A and B are shown apart, each in its own frame.
Chain A
Amino acid sequence: MNLLDPQGPVAAANSTILVDSVFIMLVIVVPTIFAILAFAFWFRASNTRARYQPDFVYSGRVEMVVWSIPALTVILLGGVAWIGSHQLDPAAPVPGTGSPVRIQAVSLDWKWLFIYPDQRIATVNTLTVPAGAELNFQLTSSSVMNTFFIPQLGSMIYTMNGMVTRLNLRADNVGKLQGLSAHFSGDGFPDMMFDVNVISPLAFPDWVATTAKSDAVLNEESYKKLMQQGIERGRLSFRLADPRLFDLIATQHIPPGPGPELLSDAGRPHSGGHDAR
């Protein structure tokens, strides 16, 4: 999941900016650190060769330099930030080969649901995508906040109940990646890791076809079952009954997830914790 080993254009651009910014700053930070250590060492009280200048407490020229060094660095980096923010806006298109794949991601307590409205299928905790195609994500949450993040594909984004966020990515190479939630969401949070299978564009239709033959159907009813708090170890896949399911979730026509079931009125509800183990 190394950030410096990007597998798509967004991650590549993000990490370039990351590395460049670090180097720009190191150019002034490293000499400054050396200067601190050098001055501290040279002007130690026991060094008789160092000249004591108690009156050197102001110098217009030094002040000029001292304000301009960080200012110039910040102007440079500010430019990077301005251009970067616009080019790498999560909602900006990421052109790819073939037609874009629409994916609707829903964070549940504590699993990820990926709906492919055009293919009429859905999966849990695995995201299968064709290499090279633009991936249009729409994201929401069934209950609490989470963050959708595939480190090697780049840019993360929040998922929030009752709201839709947008993110466009592209995976360039066939292979297996991992994704996770980057916003703490409760007891099962560490188990919100998911697999990302990047397969060849030719294999994608086959995968869709096999998945569409699934016995399991995702509709309001089975979604509500999925929504209960708990961890999903299996990699489920579904036929999608209603392609509008995501909209129903995002517009809260399906009410938010229920949270822990209260066993008693006592101060320490244990239910969540036991599920998580």
Chain B
Amino acid sequence: MLGKLDWSAIPFDQPIPLAAGGVVLVAILAVLIWVVVKGHLPYLWDEWITSVDHKRIGVMYILLASVMLLRGGSDAIMMRIQQAVAFQSQGYLPPEHYNQIFSAHGTIMIFFVAMPFVIGLMNLIVPLQLGVRDVAFPTLNSVGFWLTATGALLVNVSLVVGEFARTGWLAFPPLSGLSYSPGVGVDYYAWSLQISGVGTLVAGINLVTTVLKLRTRGMNYLRMPMFCWTTLASNLLIVAAFPILTATLAMLLLDRYLGFHFFTNEAGGNVMMFMNLIWAWGHPEVYILVLPAFGIFSEVVSTFSGKALFGYRSMVLATMAICVVSFMVWLHHFFTMGAGPNVNAIFGIASMIIAIPTGVKIYNWLFTMYGGRIRFATPMLWSVGFMVTFIIGGLTGVLVAVPPADFMLHNSMFLVAHFHNVIIGGVLFGAFAGFEYWFPKAFGFRLDERWGKAAFWFTFTGFWVTFMPLYIAGMLGMTRRLQHYDVAAWRPWMIVAVIGMAVLSIGVICQIMQLVVSIRNREALRDRTGDPWDGRSLEWATSSPPPVFNFAFHPDVRGEDAYWDMKVRAQQQSLEHEDPEYHDIEMPRNSPTGFVCAFFATIMGFALIWHIWWMVILGGLGAFATFVVFAWRDHDEYVIPAEEVARIDRVNLEERRSLVSMAGAI
């Protein structure tokens, strides 16, 4: 009846995960009860859960990422403490537990923190920057988000029901095969990623289509803000790479469920094929994450330097070059397989070639600052911090792309330091910069600068103190994923790292404090004009938060930095005061499709993991039925009457006019 599921699945003998899971469960229940009792449920349902507004969906993505960041961060703290204490002893985490933690940490941070954070920001901002009212496929967008949430949910369920994979975040066979990992851990891993992978693919298709097809009048390709370009590049990579991941995991699942032999030791299975396939997705994946971050930095550096982006066309070229070349370097993840000198050398050099456009980007940001008038608001701090940090990560990246050097550094703590250097210093700093920068746009009030700056300095310092020691440990021969060790030379560096981790955690706490303090003082921090940073692109041309329809009129774009242009022209012509003529606007209706679909996907995923076949069929039918109902819908859109549009728009227009006339007076 319940497949493999029985009471032994609940880890009564392991207090840590049980307690952690218990606390989370109680917290979720408390929030749910509060929501229901206070009568917020209808609001949540109408305005958020069923919303197909790209801004709302973007915010929900970012919320998901933030919550999962705390989960992944707790894993990180536990690992750092373990490695600090487990010298000539077993530490406090037994191997089966430690191995789950590092596997969950990697999976969560990549798929459920970094991905939703950047996808959330792209969702939130790209349509605004393009000057359009919505994304290409609003309902699909909601489906994509909710399927990602399903994946995250399943990963967390594994904490209390069953176990998570103990194979690392890429679950290499044969270790992840049925013979060596007979438990449900790998199944949790694979099904979570299969389901959220569909969500990511959908989001990718949606954003590619949006950028290619929905741009406002005059917004041709070479006038798009840099963030739109990097969004395009990143989502093209999603569309090209995620099917590889899906296919690879499908093969692994066929091995595990139906006795196939794609990657087993027996019957002609080939583990090297898995290595190639997973990295053919895996390397593009790292650029899927970092390209949007590059876009964010471009926006931030140019805004806060008070200059247009230096070498815009060069930047576009560099972005697209990275997009293409990142597909041709996957083999650098296994130089040590013994493929032979020609193959290794060619892939090594190809990997280095990516460093060229990346270097160009750094220099272009540098020259954007040159001759600027730089305001060091929090987003700009993150950006400068990023440039300094990321260069070092790039250096060590190129270093491990030299095969003979990688023969010493592969899978070492040095490698761990490399990719945290680029992912934290690049993607996470970028996400934070974007968060600080666009928060006023999303919510209508700015974030507290003092807490924001404190968060930056603690995170920045903490990052260096945590990860520089790992470079050194790697140079001392320390390999990754060690639950304990006996080598005395490694110990001091592990202790320094744990101290760094503490500093880093203070940074995270400051970030939370910043949010709390800012919400408290939101009236004082209110952004009335919609343009708190003296911005340059179209997202600043509408109110904060923007109305559902984003723009009362499709903006007319005449050059790069569209909104900057408008401001300059408005000052020269002292903004005409006659009232424009408003029209009715059609917007897509809310739809529960995404939520309902994900609900059934969750049931199906859980049932697949535990081999509960009747429930699999139930979930599958449910998801399919949802899809059919959606496909047969009649009413897709509703109309916002012109008077309503006018009423909403006038408020903002007034504020903006007073701002422009003030600026004109100065």
List, in ascending order, chain B residues with CB within 8 A of A88's CB. 403-404, 407
List, in ascending order, chain B residues with CB within 8 A of A154's CB. 407-408
Chain A residues 1 to 50 lying within 8 A of chain B, measured CB to CB, are: 1-4, 11, 13-15, 17-18, 21-22, 25-26, 29, 32-33, 35-37, 39-40, 43-45, 50
List, in ascending order, chain B residues with CB within 8 A of A81's CB. 345, 348-349, 352, 401-404
List, in ascending order, chain A residues with CB within 8 A of B371's CB. 43, 51-54, 56
Chain A residues 237 to 255 lying within 8 A of chain B, measured CB to CB, are: 252, 255
How far apart are the CA atoms of A111 and B33 in the complex, in Å? 53
Contact of A267 among B5, B309, B410, B479 (CB under 8 A): B5
Residue of B nearest to A39 (CB): B369
Shortest C-beta distance, A146 to chain B (Å), equals 10
| A78-B96 contact in complex given A43-B374, A52-B306, A182-B412, C-beta closer than 8 Å | no
Shortest C-beta distance, A83 to chain B (Å), equals 8
- Contact A74–B355 (Cβ < 8 Å): yes
List, in ascending order, chain A residues with CB within 8 A of B305's CB. 43
How far apart are the CA atoms of A52 and B372 in the complex, in Å? 6
Shortest C-beta distance, A129 to chain B (Å), equals 18
List, in ascending order, chain B residues with CB within 8 A of A265's CB. 4
Shortest C-beta distance, A191 to chain B (Å), equals 8
Is residue B388 within 8 Å, beta carbon to beta carbon, of the partner chain?
A: yes
| A189-B309 contact in complex given A35-B366, A156-B336, A259-B182, C-beta closer than 8 Å | no
- Contact B8–A187 (Cβ < 8 Å): no
List, in ascending order, chain B residues with CB within 8 A of A163's CB. 272
How far apart are the CA atoms of A190 and B184 in the complex, in Å? 23
- Contact B94–A22 (Cβ < 8 Å): no
Chain A residues 171 to 213 lying within 8 A of chain B, measured CB to CB, are: 178, 180-190, 193
How far apart are the CA atoms of A149 and B658 in the complex, in Å? 69
How far apart are the CA atoms of A77 and B486 in the complex, in Å? 36
Mark interface residues in A77-119 (1 if CB within 8 Å of B CB, else 0).
1101110111111111000000000000000000000000000
| A2-B4 contact in complex given A268-B162, A277-B90, C-beta closer than 8 Å | no
Is residue B492 within 8 Å, beta carbon to beta carbon, of the partner chain?
A: no
Report, as a range, how many residues of chain A touch the other chain: 35 or more
| A143-B307 contact in complex given A17-B405, A25-B395, A70-B359, C-beta closer than 8 Å | no
List, in ascending order, chain B residues with CB within 8 A of A183's CB. 411
- Contact A273–B95 (Cβ < 8 Å): yes
List, in ascending order, chain A residues with CB within 8 A of B337's CB. 157-158, 165
User: What are 13 pairs between A and B in contact, CB < 8 Å?
Assistant: A14-B404, A17-B404, A21-B399, A43-B374, A54-B307, A56-B310, A156-B407, A156-B410, A161-B265, A189-B483, A259-B182, A260-B182, A273-B94
Chain A residues engaging chain B, CB cutoff 8 angstroms: 1-4, 11, 13-15, 17-18, 21-22, 25-26, 29, 32-33, 35-37, 39-40, 43-45, 50-54, 56-59, 62-63, 66-67, 69-71, 73-74, 77-78, 80-82, 84-92, 143-145, 147, 149, 151-152, 154-158, 160-163, 165-167, 178, 180-190, 193, 252, 255-256, 258-260, 262, 264-270, 272-273, 276-277
Chain B residues engaging chain A, CB cutoff 8 angstroms: 4-6, 8-9, 11, 90, 94-96, 99, 162-163, 166-168, 172, 174-175, 179-180, 182-184, 265-266, 271-272, 305-312, 314, 334, 336-338, 340-342, 344-345, 348-349, 352-353, 355-356, 358-360, 362-364, 366-376, 384, 387-388, 391-392, 395, 398-399, 401-405, 407-412, 475-487, 489, 610
